[in-house]
């Protein structure tokens, strides 16, 4: 994986994370957008060729936007598909397409830049002025943006003037109405919870520039890998996608889930109605503790306690608890701690928990045990959504 950063002299540079340093990938932001006219995006060659001048390109605005927004959020590194992949290498392109869902999933923030949505005033005060353009944005019609909407835990939408319109949580009802994607999927419920037929319906009206990309853009949605076969046509690549889905252990039948957060789905399925009601009660009690006990000054201590409490809760119900996401890693980018959403007592409990999760990259500091609390929070959110409590 390559990430971008801006040096102190203002120059953009790429850093490769592979081999021995692959595990050292820092927390990063990622851009979601629709490609502009041919020749107007900043490319990998632009950044690696010292003689290249690319500041005149229309896509440079998106590069500047992503860097500046990442810096505001305390992130030094960011990723953009137009210039972080060497598309002249078929091997790298294939590897990148197979990794794309995971890269978006691992981003601390995903910024959606809507080039066809303009806001002149304050977006919060004049929502009607941009809402119609938002609903009709080309971004919602493209194949690749489906996974870019679903994979990242934190997705924030911006106008062409870089004004914040809202995030995946605050706009979930509008996004649901535009896309027909269930709100539970937008809130982070594992995609394997939804049937193959339902997931296919989310992409039914989306388009891609290359016909083969209709299959490639769905690899992450179904957690499969399709061999790179550009030039073979849509029918052949879709047939290969169908084959991979049919032969994947992860596709299964409807409601086939391996885990919900860190909780074993196999064990959860054994609970009868009485036990499920008991589980509901315990989860509500745990959520009250979680939202009451978090102190921004002792979050590392609380993190370990949250993990212990949730593990004990689930094991008392006969449900195994473990972490297999292996995604949350990194180091401090800044001391800044934006806890506004968590501390906003007027927000629903789900909103506050998502605010807690949204700040996770501020915590991975040295030996502090913070991932434990993040996994516990993610598991709580997914279980509460699954049970229909949130």
Question: Which pLDDT score, from 0 to 100, does residue 212 have?
Answer: 95
Shared domain check, 359 and 245 = no
Q: How much is the average pLDDT of 319-332?
A: 56
3-state secondary structure string across 334-373: CCCCCCHHHHCCCCCHHHHHHHHHHCHHHCCCCCCCCHHH
Shared domain check, 331 and 266 = yes
What distances in angstroms separate CA 219 from CA 69, 287, 360, 364, one per listed residue?
29, 34, 27, 30
- Both tokens assigned to 302: 């609380």
CB 369 within 8 A of CB 251: no
3-state secondary structure string across 95-132: HHHHHHHHHHHCCCEEEEECCCCCCCCCCCCCCHHHHH
Q: Report the candidate in 261, 268, 215 with the shortest Cα–Cα distance to residue 238.
A: 215
Shared domain check, 187 and 214 = no
Query: In angstroms, rounded to a whole number, what is the distance separating the alpha carbons of residues 362 and 74?
Result: 8
Question: Is a pLDDT exceeding 50 seen at residue 258?
Answer: yes
Question: Which pLDDT score, from 0 to 100, does residue 16 have?
Answer: 92
Shared domain check, 139 and 226 = no
Residue 316 host element (H or E): helix 299-316
Shared domain check, 94 and 122 = yes
- Of 14-23, 30-39, 334-343, 378-387, the range with the lowest mean pLDDT is 334-343
From 188, 203, 218, the end of a domain falls on 203
Shared domain check, 368 and 249 = no
Shared domain check, 230 and 159 = no
Question: Which pLDDT score, from 0 to 100, does residue 35 have?
Answer: 95
Q: How much is the average pLDDT of 72-101?
A: 93
Query: In angstroms, rounded to a whole number, what is the distance separating the alpha carbons of residues 134 and 112?
Result: 11
Question: Which pLDDT score, from 0 to 100, does residue 265 have?
Answer: 78
Question: Which pLDDT score, from 0 to 100, does residue 251 have?
Answer: 45
Shared domain check, 60 and 151 = yes
Looking at the 3D structure of the chain, how many domains does it have? 3
Question: Is a pLDDT exceeding 90 seen at residue 240?
Answer: yes
Query: In angstroms, rounded to a whole number, what is the distance separating the alpha carbons of residues 142 and 203?
Result: 9
Shared domain check, 176 and 216 = no
**Report field, pTM of the whole predicted structure over 0.85:** no
CB neighbour burial string for 145-159, b if at least 16 within 10 angstroms, e if fewer: bbbbbbbbbbbbbbb
From 253, 280, 313, the end of a domain falls on 253
Query: In angstroms, rounded to a whole number, what is the distance separating the alpha carbons of residues 151 and 219?
Result: 12
Shared domain check, 165 and 27 = yes
Give 265-296 pLDDT, tens digit per residue.
778 888 998 999 999 999 999 999 988 866 65
User: Using CA of residue 33, residue 38, residue 41, residue 44, what is the dihedral sign?
Assistant: positive
Which carries the bigger pLDDT value, residue 248 or residue 104?
104
Q: How much is the average pLDDT of 344-363?
A: 71
Give 215-237 pLDDT, tens digit per residue.
999 999 999 999 888 999 999 99
Question: Is a pLDDT exceeding 50 seen at residue 336?
Answer: no
The boundaries of the domain holding residue 329 are 259-387
Shared domain check, 86 and 39 = yes
Shared domain check, 178 and 116 = yes
How many beta carbons lie within 10 A of that of residue 263, not counting itself? 25
From 203, 237, 270, the end of a domain falls on 203
- Both tokens assigned to 203: 């992409």
Q: How much is the average pLDDT of 167-185?
A: 93
């Amino acid at each position: 994986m390559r990430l971008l950063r801006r040096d102190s002299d203002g120059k953009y540079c790429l850093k490769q994370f592979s081999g021995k340093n692959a595990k050292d990938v820092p927390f990063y932001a990622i851009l979601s957008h629709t490609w502009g006219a041919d020749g107007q995006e900043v490319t990998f060659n632009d950044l690696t060729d010292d003689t290249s001048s690319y500041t005149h390109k229309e896509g440079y605005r998106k590069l500047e936007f992503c860097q500046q927004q990442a810096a505001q959020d305390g992130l030094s590194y960011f990723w953009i598909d137009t210039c972080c992949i060497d598309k002249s290498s078929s091997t790298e392109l294939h590897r990148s397409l197979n990794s794309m869902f995971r890269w978006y999933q691992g981003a601390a923030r995903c910024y959606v830049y809507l080039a066809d949505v303009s806001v002149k005033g304050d977006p919060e005060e004049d929502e009607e002025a941009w809402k119609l353009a938002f609903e009709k944005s080309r971004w919602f019609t493209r194949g690749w943006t489906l996974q870019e909407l679903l994979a990242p835990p934190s997705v924030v939408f911006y106008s062409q003037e870089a004004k914040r319109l809202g995030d995946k949580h605050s706009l979930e009802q509008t996004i649901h109405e535009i896309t027909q994607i269930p709100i539970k999927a937008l809130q982070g419920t594992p995609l394997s919870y939804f049937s193959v037929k339902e997931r296919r319906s989310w992409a039914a009206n989306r388009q891609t520039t290359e016909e083969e990309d209709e299959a490639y853009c769905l690899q992450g949605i179904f957690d499969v890998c399709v061999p790179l076969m550009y030039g073979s046509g849509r029918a052949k690549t879709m047939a290969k996608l169908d084959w991979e889905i049919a032969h994947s252990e992860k596709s299964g039948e409807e409601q086939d889930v391996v885990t919900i957060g860190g909780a074993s789905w196999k064990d959860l399925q054994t609970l009868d109605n009485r036990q499920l009601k008991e589980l509901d009660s315990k989860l509500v009690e745990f959520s009250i503790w979680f939202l009451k006990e978090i102190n921004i000054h002792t979050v590392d201590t609380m993190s370990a306690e949250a993990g212990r409490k949730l593990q004990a809760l689930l094991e008392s119900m006969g449900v195994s608890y473990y972490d297999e996401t292996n995604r949350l890693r990194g180091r401090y980018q800044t001391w800044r701690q934006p806890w506004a959403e968590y501390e906003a007592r007027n927000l629903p409990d789900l909103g506050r928990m998502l605010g807690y999760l949204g700040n996770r990259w501020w915590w991975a500091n040295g030996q502090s045990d913070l991932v434990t609390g993040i996994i516990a929070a993610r598991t709580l959110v997914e279980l509460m959504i699954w049970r229909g409590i949130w």
